[in-house]
Amino acid sequence: MRLVFAGTPDTALPSLRTLIDSPRHDVVAVVTRPDAQSGRGRKVHPSPVAELAEEAGVEVLRPQKAGDPAFLERLREIGPDCCPVVAYGALLPQAALDIPRHGWVNLHFSLLPAWRGAAPVQHAVLHGDEITGASTFRIVRELDAGPVYGVVTEEIRPADTSGELLARLAESGAELLLATLDGIEDGKLEAVPQPADGVSLAPKIGGDDARIDWSAPAMRVDRLIRACTPAPGAWTEFRGTRVKLGPVRPAPGAPGLAPGRIAVSKHSVLAGTATHPVELGEVQPQGKRLMQAVEWARGVRPTDEDRLV
């Protein structure tokens, strides 16, 4: 089939590579978000999807909005059979949805109807799900509510961060997306409506949501930090300054500590929660480099009065 691929971040690259390499399909163009500032120098860079497409000699479309008349006209000229989507990052109007004869097929990183929305992997980790996966579905106007073509499952490991889990789903999901497009082309695959029961929402997790509540149980603190790694990054305050924290290790055998209180030894830094302490891993004080918690503690020398808040 003639495909126009829509995607933006690194997460979309395994799918785009898989489709470019497929002998059955022809990726004739990609749609991605406009070039944006990134990195320490805030220079303008193309999206990862745009970079890969340009390397492969594929036309790149960067509409400010997917409803822009010039974009819609170019899409009609290209005449795609289907438009696969992986983390595009913008709403698609009905005028765009109507152009390809097989519609727009989205790869979503959850087992729909669970975790509809922008942050399904983060919410699966945050809520302690043991199994998640990816789904391919036909996009309709309602958010992530279209009929499902196929799914793949993935175990959530006890120490998984959102970044690690998403990386695995991006790879397995790429194969699912290819199999879905093959089945659509063969006329052997039909989408099945999502059940009305079991719907849950996964809104974007912002900076305020990523603040650690040390009065919560250790399990909740652990899940929040892993869910927010690498983005937006879990954080707390120490002596009035923001400190980012990497994944922690629950320490149920350690002596109890009051919520937010710090206990430093030669080889570890413990922080108290509502239940048992957690052992801090990597720490990044505001404006400074990432470091191990023991190194950070040697520099700040916490007292008995100091707390993480």
Distance from chain centroid for Cα 257? 33
Is 91 annotated in a binding site? The answer is no
Distance from chain centroid for Cα 125? 11
Distance of alpha carbon 61 from alpha carbon 4, whole angstroms: 10
Give the end-to-end CA distance of the chain in Å, rounded to a whole number.
Answer: 55
The pairing of beta strand 148-155 with beta strand 131-138:
antiparallel
- Whose tokens are 């406009």? That residue is 34
Distance of alpha carbon 162 from alpha carbon 234, whole angstroms: 12
Distance of alpha carbon 98 from alpha carbon 275, whole angstroms: 54
Is 110 annotated in a binding site? The answer is yes
- Listed in sequence order, the DSSP H helices in the chain are 13-21, 48-55, 69-78, 94-97, 120-126, 162-186, 218-227, 293-300
Distance of alpha carbon 4 from alpha carbon 19, whole angstroms: 10
Distance from chain centroid for Cα 232? 10
Q: Which residues are known binding-site members?
A: 110-113
Detail the residues annotated as belonging to a binding site for (6S)-5,6,7,8-tetrahydrofolate: 110-113
